Amino acid sequence: MIAYYAGDATAFRPYPTQKLTHIIYSFLHLKGTSFAFDKPQDQATVAALVALKAQHPQLKVLLSLGGWGGCETCSEVFATYQGRMAFAASVKEVLTATRTDGIDLDWEYPAVAGPPGHRFTPEDRHNFTLLVQALRTTLGNRYEISFAAGGFREYLQHAVEWPAVMPLVDRVHLMSYDLVNGYSTTTGHHTPLYSTPQQVPSVDDGVRFLDSVGVAPGKVVIGAAFYARVFRGVPNRQQGLQQAGTFKQAVNYRDFADSLSAARGFAFYWDEVAQAPYAYSAQRQEFATFDDAQSLQLKTRYARKKQLGGIMFWELTGDKPQGSLLKSLYQAAQ
């Protein structure tokens, strides 16, 4: 049960962190060839997370590199032996100094297009393997190494040398969200459990691909979303599903009662094929795609049935205080 966390030194306090196995602080970035905090208060946040381990001995705190828009120089730095080794040495220094438990690589993306303007080359694929090898050699087995993987086929097929990488890492975190995203021009489910005739990318599609290339199920962690993606200019057909639209904004689950309210015209629906909820407001011509308690319970049961490594989600503070969605995940996992 893995939470990504992008809050400050106090925002996690209302949430039931005792239900988590991992918190991944997001994000650190490259400063030259070094793994570095952006500002001093980020180190204070990590110290506060590490302090939770005194109360919850099972908890591990990892530090994440990159994120969307946060790995602009990754392709260049990790293209050389010197860059990879300098980075790996700096990771060990940071993990030792912060008393954290490992690194999560969120390079978006090796070898395939990520944020506009970010360099990507075919060589990134093998360089990612070499990066993971450098990290494991430098860190030994004391620290965990995981990485976030795009949940779409172009990434899965072209970004990672799966047979070479997976024996060296503890987990792959399948980003089975944002499958409909800010660049999409047709509405759909951004984090569906199953594919539909209109939309192939899904949790199940990603898991099936990883199984087909020999990734051990126990190292696969599937993703859930504690936020909605809202599209505007969506015509009133099929409750807005699979219609033309323009991305408007992301809305955290904790704000659904206001942003996706009946007063704004939103009605909620369920796609039996995708096993995913959605909402549409005819008066505003807006469509929303998200996870809810039911879809999270189904994802958790799926992970148990497939004997996967677990579930991760973006992002802890998107939940309602006291952890409504986190509790749904936890209860379904028991």
Convert the pLDDT of each residue in 50-75 to its tens digit. 999 999 999 999 999 999 999 999 99
Sorted by where each begins, the domain ranges of the chain are 2-225+291-333
**What residue type is 29 in one-letter code?**
H
Is residue 322 over pLDDT 90? Answer: no
* Percent of the chain residues topping a pLDDT of 70: 100
pTM: 0.97
Residue 298 clears pLDDT 90, i.e. is over it: yes
H or E stretch covering 98:
helix 81-98
Q: What is the mean pLDDT of residues 220-241?
A: 98
Under CATH, which number does the domain 2-225+291-333 receive? 3.20.20.80
CA-based nearest residue to 206, from 168, 177, 165, 241: 177
Q: What is the pLDDT of residue 323?
A: 78
pLDDT digit string, tens, across residues 242-284: 999 999 999 999 999 999 999 999 999 999 999 999 999 999 9
Per-residue model confidence as pLDDT tens digits over 100-125? 999 999 999 999 999 999 999 999 99
pLDDT of residue 334 exceeding 90: no
Cα separation, 139 vs 54, whole angstroms: 24
